[in-house]
């Protein structure tokens, strides 16, 4: 792969911008090619997944496709064009927001959005097939939500969540795969699909109201070691398990 193509694929700008970064000496980690003139940007590089280099002094890893997780704080919208709140994508480095894709929108995309007041695990990728697989209800990817309600949770409400409730836009009952009460006003609920405001609407359908919502797990992934606002790449093992 050409060096400028490598940088372009990782989201560091147009090929012209990437060539300028190379020629001005802002790219480190390929010192074996230093001094090759005049077409340094056209130098062929043997790439490998996870290889490290430096752009303007910052360490970067090469990944053919981006698969990462973000611990989303409250007060952020899952949109590249947010309205009243800042974008959750602003918590990521610029190259991840600028990676070239075949879709109209550049950069990584969220695998299922979280409301601005909802916190927790957010998967992001630029792999369209992976995004579809993880989002589609046909694949039954479990997602666990920690819910706090404004009124005490009653046993009959848990029973209704497990047996199924009807939401106003779908006559087919929607049910939780699991619902475990963890406190007077808290429960963990597992869903295998994702509809618009589904958790909040399900809780409302059984006569209660969500005051705090946190997604703690997607399939085998959780937020262990990841503070609010932080992100990281998925490991090879994690990705293989998800796929």
Q: Where are the alpha helices (DSSP H) in the chain?
A: 3-9, 15-23, 94-98, 128-135, 155-163, 198-205, 236-242
169 assigned to active site: no
Catalytic residue, candidates 4, 115, 126, 127: 115
DSSP code string of 167-235: ETTEEEEE--SEEEEEETTEEEEEESS--TTHHHHHHHHTT--EEEEEEEEETTEE-TT--TT-EEEPP
- CA 135 → CA 69, 121, 145, 181, 190, distances in Å? 15, 14, 16, 26, 15
Q: Identify the three-state secondary structure at position 67.
A: strand
> Would you call the peptide bond into 38 cis, given omega within 30 degrees of 0 as the criterion?
yes
Kindly list the catalytic residues: 115
């Amino acid at each position: 792969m050409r060096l400028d193509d490598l940088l372009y694929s990782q989201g560091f700008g147009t090929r012209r911008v990437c060539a300028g970064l190379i020629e001005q000496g802002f790219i480190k980690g390929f010192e074996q090619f230093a001094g090759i003139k005049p077409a340094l940007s056209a130098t062929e590089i043997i790439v490998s997944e996870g290889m490290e280099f430096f752009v303007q002094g910052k360490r970067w890893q090469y990944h053919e496709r981006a698969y990462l997780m973000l611990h989303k704080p409250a007060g952020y919208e899952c949109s590249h064009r947010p309205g009243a709140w800042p974008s959750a994508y602003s918590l990521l480095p610029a190259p991840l927001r600028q990676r070239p894709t075949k879709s109209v929108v550049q950069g990584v995309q969220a695998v299922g959005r979280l409301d601005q007041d909802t916190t927790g695990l957010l998967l992001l990728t630029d792999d369209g097939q992976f995004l579809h697989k993880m989002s589609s209800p046909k694949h039954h990817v479990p997602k666990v939500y920690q819910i706090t309600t404004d009124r005490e949770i009653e046993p009959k409400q848990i029973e209704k969540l497990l047996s199924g409730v009807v939401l106003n836009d779908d006559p087919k009952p929607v049910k939780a795969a699991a619902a475990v009460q963890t406190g007077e006003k808290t429960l963990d609920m597992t869903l295998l699909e994702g509809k618009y405001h589904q958790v909040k609407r399900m809780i409302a359908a059984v006569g209660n109201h969500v005051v705090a919502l946190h997604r703690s797990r997607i399939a085998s992934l959780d937020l262990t070691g990841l503070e609010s606002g932080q992100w990281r790449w998925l490991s090879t093992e994690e990705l293989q398990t998800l796929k």
